[in-house]
Amino acid sequence: MLSRLLRKTIERVAYSSVATVEMESLTMIAEILAVSQRNNHRDRVTGALVYSDGRFFQVLEGTSADIDRVLARIASDPRHREINIISRTEVEGRLFPDWSMCTPRVSPKMAPLLNKAIRASQIAPLGAIELVRILIADDRNRLEGEPSAQGGETDSTDQPNQDQTIQRA
């Protein structure tokens, strides 16, 4: 009981935004991921980013202060407009404990699922978050030759491991 009280409270925030520049280039998305990974690792934030059809959907996990720092950076980023926080909740554990920032690889087969996740985020944010988790886990499992994703939250509230952060662009 005492150890649970001493643990830092973790929040999960999901937001969507409209891209102000064309992000069709994988290089541009890779650059965003690289900067996000570096900053999020430093700030002890984990999460996932989805981009499709001119819109971003992102899930961030960390302490309230760490999340607020990231959201302030995003608000001042000229690549975003119409930033809409669609969910902010306290959670028991992280869905993305090993990822300072990840995204599923974009392929013609993946594009409709990414669009679905972004559209669903406005109506059912928790369902969209779960869809993103499944897409990323399935993508990772395909690369590693493992079965499809199952399960959910972990109880890890520690800082993400930089060595385990894999760029998916």
pLDDT digits (tens), the chain, 169 positions: 445 544 678 999 999 888 877 766 667 777 777 787 788 888 889 888 887 778 888 899 999 999 999 999 888 888 888 888 999 999 999 988 876 666 666 667 777 877 777 777 878 888 888 888 887 887 777 767 655 444 444 444 444 433 333 333 3
Task: Supply the pLDDT for residue 103.
Answer: 67
Rounded to 5°, angle at Cα 60 from 38 and 106: 75
CATH of the domain at 97: 3.30.70.100
Rounded to 5°, angle at Cα 72 from 100 and 8: 55
pTM of the model: 0.72
| Residue 47 domain flag | yes
Question: Residues, the chain, total?
Answer: 169
Number of domains in the chain: 1
Closest residue by Cα to residue 103 from 49, 55, 164? 49
Give the whole-angstrom CA distance, residue 63 versus residue 8: 7
Task: Supply the pLDDT for residue 106.
Answer: 62
Task: Supply the pLDDT for residue 162.
Answer: 35
What are φ and ψ of residue 164, in 5° steps? -95, -5
| Residue 34 domain flag | yes
| Residue 169 domain flag | no
The helix/strand/coil state of 62 is: strand
Task: Supply the pLDDT for residue 85.
Answer: 92
Residue 141: give the domain boundaries: 2-164
| Residue 9 domain flag | yes
